[in-house]
Structure 1
Amino acid sequence: MEKYDVKKAHKQLYSPPRNAFAVVEVPEFRYLAVDGKGDPNTADSYAQAVAALYGTAYTLKFASKKSLQRDFVVAPMEGLWRADDPAVFLTRDKGAWEWTMMISQPEWITEEMVVSAAGEAAAKHPNPAFDGLRFVAFTEGLSVQTLHIGSYDSETPVLQRLHEHYLPYNKLAFNGDHHEIYLSDARRTAPAKLRTILRQPVKRVE
């Protein structure tokens, strides 16, 4: 049984260069998603969101393999980050951050399958985040991305170069939430070796 892996199916989007910015066109993806706010290091809601997403994702994987004979690698966690003042991302004022944590799904996964899997996962490991779990689709389109290796708090110089130099120089402006894709498991990887894709949807300006 061939196993679908989004990182291989969309290699260009999941293997950007390090220390350089790449312009990409991001098509529609569908995600399991949970919204929240606050410091991801301390907010209970963040840990609950991650647990609900992974619980549902793995339940979907096993259900798909059993009932459809279609297997897939559970995709990496992704996050959309936003705030009333974008400067809080550079100052690392994490209490002011709003987020949507997500795990992308293969195209054959349906709303009905998600509802069933979330209910099964919630029954095994009750968690208030299941109440807000959604199945969403969106297209980011034109985006700029790079690979960051290091701790999450060391992203600031990269984001400064993107925001203050690369985008203005190339006549690009923000066109969506700051997007991060976590290629490493933070529980098992030293902070200095964490691999994170930093992506910013953009639009061209005159």
Structure 2
Amino acid sequence: MDKYDVKKACKALYAPSAKEFAMVDVPMTRYLAIDGKGDPNVELAYIQAVEALYSVSYALKFHSKKVLGRDYVVAPLEGLWWAEDMAAFTAGDGAERDKSGWDWTMMISQPEWITTDVVAEILEQVAAKKQLPGLRSIRVAELAEGLSVQILHVGSYDDEGPVLERLHHEFMPANNLGFNGKHHEIYLGDPRRAAPEKLRTILRQPVAPAGGANPAAPADESVPSS
């Protein structure tokens, strides 16, 4: 049985250079998602969200392999991040950034054959076995980002500010691009196992020609799970 791995199937989206920004076209993708607000380092809701997303994602993987006959690698954790003032992401130095006002949607992408009905079935099964507060907040979301700029950031999450500063104030203006969606991060490293300086995070920003960009454009969401 071939094991599907989205990182290999969509290599251009999951293996960007760490040296320069790259333009990519991101297709419609279905996710398990949970919305929240506040500093991810201290918010209990954030920890509960990540725990629930992984629990359901692995349950879906095992169901797919056993019942549907299709195995796959669970995709990496991803996050959409935004704030009333987007300068909050580049202001300050490292850990000094004020994250209390950040909004977020944490997500794990799912293969196209994992339908909303299958998700609903597995959610019930997981809820019957585990007491996970985040389960009740899980929804199925479809996100179509289209034209985007991305780069690989190697290092601590708190050191992303200078990279985003270059993206927002150098690369995008130089290429006549404006914001067309939420700041998107894809976590290729596990902070529980890797030293902060070795973490690998894809930083992605949906864009559009400056005249037609919508700085407040939300993700194309959502298909609520039942």
TM-score band, normalised by the shorter chain? Answer: over 0.9
1 CA distance for matches of 2:123 and 2:17?
A: 35
What is the Cα deviation at residue 127 of structure 1? 2.0
User: Are positions 1:147 and 2:146 aligned together?
Assistant: no
Q: Could you tell me which residue of structure 2 aligns to residue 106 of structure 1? A: 111
**TM-score between the two structures when normalised by the length of structure 1:** 0.98
1:126 CA drift (Å): 1.3
Q: Is the 8 A contact 1:31 1:103 kept in 2?
A: yes
Q: Which residue of 1 aligns with 2:37?
A: 37
Equivalent-residue separation in structure 1 for 2:130 and 2:40 (angstroms): 21
Contact 1:55 1:118 in 2 (8 A): no
What does 1:97-136 align with in structure 2 at a 5 Å threshold? Answer: 97-136=102-141
Instruction: Identify which of 157, 163, 169 aligns with 2:168.
Output: 163
User: How many residues were matched structurally?
Assistant: 206
Unaligned runs of 5+ in 1: none
Q: Structure 2 unaligned segments of length 5 or more: list them.
A: 92-96, 212-226
Equivalent position SS for 1:94: coil
For 1:184, the aligned partner's letter is: G
> Larger % of strand: which?
1
Q: Shift of residue 170 of structure 1?
A: 0.5
* 1:48 counterpart letter in structure 2: Q
Amino acid at match of 1:131: R
Q: CA RMSD in A?
A: 0.8
Instruction: Name the SS for the 1:180 alignment partner.
Output: strand
Q: 1:183 touches 1:197 (CA, 8 Å); kept in 2? A: yes
Q: Distance in 2 between matches of 1:195 and 1:165?
A: 23
Bigger shift: 86-95 or 2-11?
Answer: 86-95
The whole-number CA distance in structure 1 between the counterparts of 2:161 and 2:60 is: 36
Return the offset for 1:41: 0.6
- Residue 135 of structure 1: how far off its partner (Å): 0.8
- 1:50-109, Cα deviation, whole Å (9 max, x unpaired): 001000000000000011110000000000001111011113211010000000000000
Question: Which residue in 2 is equivalent to 1:96?
Answer: 101
- Structure 1 distance, partners of 2:132, 2:201, is 27
Find out whether 1:2 has 2:7 as its counterpart: no
Residue aligning to 2:67: 67
Identity across matched positions, percent: 61
Residue aligning to 1:17: 17
